[in-house]
Amino acid sequence: QVQLVESGGGSAQSGGSLRLSCATSGFTFRDYAMNWVRQAPGMTLERIAVISSDGNQIGYADSVKGRFTISRDNDKGTLDLQMDSLKPEDTAMYYCQVIGPDGSMWDQFRRPPRDKRGWWGQGTQVTVSS
């Protein structure tokens, strides 16, 4: 059974930092590209960071570029997101998601998810106060 479990969310002040982690099981983690997706209240899903299966290709949405860092440990089956210089507009539920077979990693990263079909975690809440 595929499982993705996010942790590390919470509250932070503007300018602060948080580190999210996603622990995975039930599939061969090293075979899949992964991404972090967030959903702010009343907003659609937004892909914010993507990493290839071997960790050599990384991409970010403009909204987080230069502030967030995605990483993975294929031996442990974990995906991380280091979030620095947080802003109130980063307030959202954050999900880790497996990039599926429906197109290349970059093609999928350019398309916002329409729903949560596929392999997703349950999400972790991040709240940033000004």
In 8-115, the DSSP E strands lie at: 10-13, 18-25, 34-39, 46-51, 58-60, 68-73, 78-83, 92-98
As a whole number, the mean pLDDT across the chain is 96
- Residue 93's pLDDT is what? 98
Q: How does pLDDT run across 88-118, given as a tens digit for each residue?
A: 999 999 999 999 888 899 999 999 998 998 9
pLDDT in tens, 7-23: 999 999 999 999 999 99
CA 121/CA 86 separation, integer angstroms:
22
* pLDDT bucket at 74, cuts 50 / 70 / 90: very high
